[in-house]
Amino acid sequence: MTSQFISDLTVSRRSALGSLAAAIATGTAEAAAPRKGRGTLDFNDPRDNLYAFGKITSGYGKPVIGGYHGIMYARIGNQRLIPLFGYAGTGCSMVEFDAEAGLLRRKSRETAFFTDLRTHEPLETWKNPFTEETVEVYHFYNPSLAGTIGLEMPRIVLGGGSDVPTLLNEGTAFPEENGRTMFKMPFRQVGDDDILLAWDYTHDYTNPVDPKGWPKASVGPRITPSEHFTYYVSKKELENRDLPTVRARAGFARQSNWWPWMKMGGSKYQDGILFARMFSHKGLPGTQDVHPKILAYVEKHAPEYLTPPPDFTPRADRIDVTKAYVQDIPPETPGYAWTQKRKNDVDKPKTGSGSRV
């Protein structure tokens, strides 16, 4: 689930981490908290822009727990959208900002669940209306997602070495005369206190779920997920640097291929798509932003996911459902080499089909 974080998967990762190492060596990383007081933000300044992005999507110096929830629909050819199941989860994150080095560090733990449309409870099995097969539902748990964003717009690398990196916010991010695309998210003020922000990424990369190893779970050699956020925040809160975070509400849309646990591979519906419309929000005290049914489920099965990882060590090996699925679910094809198997330092998912392997 890439909905909560831009990971440290950028083509500029080496230079960003090198700058961070230099900052730590000189002691500037100790002053990672933003300066205090109030002051106008210049969104054309990549440093101010990066600071604002960190405050909207997370919180400085203390963990922030956010939530998202909504519905996923199926699209088959030119037919109308069909509601399938709910999609909801949590993110607990924290950020540090080094203005001198121009670096934003972020760490988080994340969950994603597929829920019953009527009860909003996480599903354990699901009757696929297209294939008539009852399948086990895969629940997503990412115990550690951490990385760094610098003053240039990230280009996210997913899939294999031959895949073209995804430029964050393609459509609003453009290179300057020197050829560099600086970190300038498209903030816009409406009225006296409303700040709007659009955040998009559209991927096209090699499917981690190889059809040779998972012929029923895989939809083919490539996948094309995209996510789109429209944030609404208070300008006064955003510019008040005494506040570690800001109340943020977002419309959240997602389009993708079928999830691997749906087992649509090889069916006549293999090329269909999923569309989701959701709410995403954070900034209320404690766990108030989490859907009550999801909060009760996480508190029962995985309460540690309501706290962030212990440190900012870069990690993104379980960045989304598809990549985590092949670490937790063995290949369907006998003799296929399971090279993606979950690392020994990662606990198995707490619930869902991944917990039973």
DSSP 355: G
Q: What is the DSSP string of 201-252?
A: EE--EE-SS-TTT-TTT---SEE--EEEEEEEEEHHHHHBTTSS---EEEEE
Task: Decide if 101 contacts 19 (C-beta within 8 A).
Answer: yes
Tell the residue number behind the tokens 């598809």, with chain if given. 322
Residue type, 35: R
Mention every residue, 6+ apart, whose C-beta is less than 8 A from residue 212.
333, 336
Please state the rounded mean pLDDT for residues 154-174: 93
Question: What does pTM read for this prediction?
Answer: 0.89
Task: Decide if 324 contacts 142 (C-beta within 8 A).
Answer: yes
**Buried/exposed 191-213: b ≥16 CB within 10 Å, e otherwise:** eeeebebbbbbbbebebbbbbeb
What is d(CA 95, CA 299) in angstroms, rounded to the nearest whole number?
Answer: 24
Residue 26 reports pLDDT greater than 60: no
Helices (H), 219-352: 235-239, 292-301, 321-328
What is d(CA 228, CA 2) in angstroms, rounded to the nearest whole number?
Answer: 11
Share of the chain above pLDDT 90, in %: 86
- In a 3-state reduction of DSSP, which class is residue 191? coil
Q: What is the pLDDT of residue 76?
A: 96
Mention every residue, 6+ apart, whose C-beta is less than 8 A from residue 110.
1, 4, 5, 89, 90, 91, 92, 140, 141, 142, 145, 305
Q: What is the pLDDT of residue 38?
A: 59
Tell the residue number behind the tokens 């959701």, with chain if given. 278
Task: Decide if 163 contacts 28 (C-beta within 8 A).
Answer: no
Residue 333 reports pLDDT greater than 50: yes
15-24, 153-162, 255-264, 297-306: segment of lowest average pLDDT: 15-24
Q: What is the pLDDT of residue 6?
A: 43
What is d(CA 309, CA 347) in angstroms, rounded to the nearest whole number?
Answer: 13
User: Could you tell me which of 110, 134, 164 has the C-alpha nearest to residue 315?
Assistant: 110
Tell the residue number behind the tokens 């985590």, with chain if given. 324
Q: What is the pLDDT of residue 37?
A: 60
Conformational region of residue 120, where left means phi above 0, alpha means psi within -120 to 50, and beta covers everything else: left
Domain that holds residue 322: 2-356
What is d(CA 22, CA 30) in angstroms, rounded to the nearest whole number?
Answer: 12
* Average pLDDT taken over every residue of the chain: 90
Mention every residue, 6+ apart, whose C-beta is less than 8 A from residue 3.
68, 89, 91, 227, 229, 252, 254, 280
The count of structural domains within the chain is 1
What residues does 67 pair with on adjacent strands?
90, 281
Residue 21 reports pLDDT greater than 50: no
Mention every residue, 6+ apart, whose C-beta is less than 8 A from residue 92.
63, 64, 65, 66, 108, 109, 110, 305, 306, 307, 308
Q: What is the pLDDT of residue 357?
A: 87
- Residue 302 has a CB neighbour count (10 Å cut-off) of 19
**Chain-centre distance of CA 8, in angstroms?**
12
Tell the residue number behind the tokens 């440190």, with chain if given. 311
